[in-house]
Structure 1
Amino acid sequence: MNFKKNAWKKTAVALAAVMLLALLVLPNGVRQASAAPAAEASIMLDGRAIDGAEPLVLKGTTMVPIRVVSEQLGYSVDWNQSAGRITIGGDPVPLVLTIGSQTADAFSGAVKMEQAPFVRSNTTYVPLRFVGSQMGLGVKWEQSSRTVYLQSPAAEPPAPAAPAIPAAPAVPSVPSTSGGTPAPSANNVSIDGISFSDNRLTISAGGAVTPSSSVLTAPDRIVVDLPNTAFGPALQAGGNLKLGQVAKLPVETSSAVKQVRYSLFSESPSTVRVVIDLNRSVGYNLYTEGNLVLVDLNDDGAAPPIGTNGKKIVVIDPGHGDHDPGGVGNGVQEKDVVLNVGLKVAALLKQEPGIDLIMTRSDDTFVTLDGRAKIANDANADVYLSIHSNIASSNSASGTETFYADAARSKSLSDTIQKHVQAATGFKDRGSKQANYLVIRKTTMPAALVELGFLSNKQEAAVMVQDDFQQKVAEAIVAGIKEYLGLN
């Protein structure tokens, strides 16, 4: 199906309007949810406080009211009262939502929400994560102030002031006084994602970038400058990164690295600077792979680029992270389970001489769905596997399942992963099946998404948090990957 990207974004943003209409013509019989409001929580849309728009928390999922947001964005919709169905847009592709359903129909197929839209006190709520992924809005939850920040595609909300990254003597500074934030343009390449895992800094750019680096001491740090770049929307969600303002990426899985910092270092030319703060001096290798900029750290000297000597590149993607807990059931958060399994998979894959590993995250950080797919695509990976656990409204739902988007490219991988992982979990075999999840739809290599089990199922949740179970599943995942790649 062909359509223009901007037109789809406009259609996706139009989802906001559907809930306003739903309130006016809501069908009879819709059950009102009993969620408790989050005390003193608030919503900021494009830097403006929205009055009377308190978020709610339902079973660990942050829910936001769409009515007030839709009043600000306002798109036309068509309401079919007899079917309880609302169609948004139609040029070029409609978006369809059914009141009370946990599934919305997008251009790519069915899109599942963590919780179904519900009504409380004449207000309709949808999951915060769904708002971000399907409406084209930047989303950020700030726990300390209990504030949801929403940013529409053309908006530029303010950000709190932060200390500047000290200018490195070895990298000359270019003075600037405007204090603005250059946007990605024909002259500025967007920086869309920054992550650190497995002793590797990965910077995802929207085009080709020519980086430079320097090593500084007292304290030890590696400075990477990216000339003719600017922060893309994903890194500006919830607040601008103006000249001199700094964002920090905590690192918990490396003995060599304290943290990663990044900022807009210069406006003329627009330059993003990334600093790796070190606990000790280490060797490193700076190189590009497609539109990725990579810094591999190595105590023994320069690390070889990924994929050297015919090694297969495997991307492991533990889902969710940071403010996005994923599914929550029986006191267990999905982001924690899948990260633990992912780290165990990584430890095993590092021992395989024929495999180079990339992790989308190796600690409690967040990477956007597009960012996860882009990391794999830019690395020209041979295999992409996203690890998740399931959630359902019924506590009796159970089992292991694996998904693929493109049958010709990915069904064999999905079938192999399902075979090994289901045998390891011992849960009900829900099969290998087709779905349109973004991360496996937008990846260009064989890609699969595995759902280990259901956190909403008390028995499965209790097992999934056990270390020996997670190790067994990790071994099964590695066995499946090796079988698929012919490395057994």
Structure 2
Amino acid sequence: MMKKVILSMFLSLFFLIILPGQSQAAANQSKIILDGQKVILPSDVQVTVINEHVMIPIRVVAENLKFRVDWDQKSHSVKIQQNSNIISLHVDQREAKVAEKPVILDIAPQILNKSVVVPIRFVSEEMGLAVSWDNKDKIVYLTSNNNDSAQTEDSTPHSENNEKVLSLKHINEIKFLNNQLVVSMDGKVTPIISDLKDPHRIVVDLPNTTFGDLSQPLDTGSMGKLDVRGQPNVSEVRYSLFDRDPDQVRIVIELIQASVIHVNHEFIGDQLVIDLNDTSDFESPIQAPSAGEQVRKIVVIDPGHGGSDPGTTSISKKHEKDFNLALSLKVQELLLKEPEIEVLMTRDTDVYPTRTERVQFANKINADVFVSIHGNSVLESPQANGTETHYYQRSSSKELANAIHKRLIKAIGLKDRGVKDSSLQVIRETKMAAVLLEVGFLSNISDEKAMLSNTVQYKAAQAIVDGIKEYLSIR
């Protein structure tokens, strides 16, 4: 899927259920901020970090949110309830139930020092909480959806501390490869991008943002640099906490020489991707056919990601790029049997054309149809599932999306998540009817099983081909 390019990093947070009569002796060194207010922790309860996972006391949080928590000693099970919402979990079992429907947790609940540890992000999202962890100051932030004081990224803070706490986002990783800056974050912000001269550089400012648990070290001046050796257009990428009160991160990309730069940015899952491409003398590495050969309808199949960009990772640790290519090759195989269609691939091996290269290839050959194939993922919410199809504004793209989507839903039987108008580069900048397919969720155990099945892939491929033929009025 487009969402989740390059390498993604997730921080799993956990609730700690303190059983009656038990206590922990270590002193409190961390804090819990609930809807902008500090939660007062009893002396025998603390926030702890175990094996890089943050654990917080559910008993205290539940009391503040009026959740009901029941522990069954005999079955070693926990039931968490808010109004009609019920979550049931069992110690040492990854399968949980939400409203009686089974879901799979990344980590099974455990008993540690006679206390039950339960995944917080799974629980919090089901109970309407947003969660983030400030590793530098050791603070857990919890925000309930019914909190009237919560601010969005576009809001103007009106109190000194609470609103700042709620809007602050954290950067966990910064990478630059294939002419793309990739920033992994725990939330979305609107970047402010400037093109400056003497020297020529692209400046990316991220408001209401600070550094979380960065894999790259910062120097004593709170500045860091990336290793960009081998990058053809960039001499340096540096980043720093540019401002405080409110916090703002600045990333500066210095270019080797002045040239026409086309800058695109989008959020793909929890990653901000800023795509820089020199358009002054661009030549696509993908070879287009000569004009004389364009006698049939031209269909471009685009297996998402590839090469150095694995896309997302499935629940069984498989790469999205491999699923995308496997299904795309099956679509190609079927389209090659259609005498009125000429099929071209943006890639047919494990290589990585940039999104701009894919777009320019399709536009250069005047393709009639562009289909980008992806797998979806939300690792924090393994219960998320289903098929969705994306197009961008054009009526031709919407028509193509509807034709493929209805057949795909019928063929593979996953949840229907609908057809959506989305601003994604490969469908926004292509000039023909273009769609991006999120076939299913690789982070969902049931979807993944279907998506990796050779039989289901052929059914999906046939549905995609039939949808393309309907759009092109080919029988």
TM tier, smaller: 0.3 to 0.5
Q: TM-score, normalised by structure 1?
A: 0.46
The structure, 1 or 2, with the larger RCO (C-alpha pairs under 8 Å, 6+ apart) is 2
Compare CA radii of gyration and give the structure with the larger one: 2
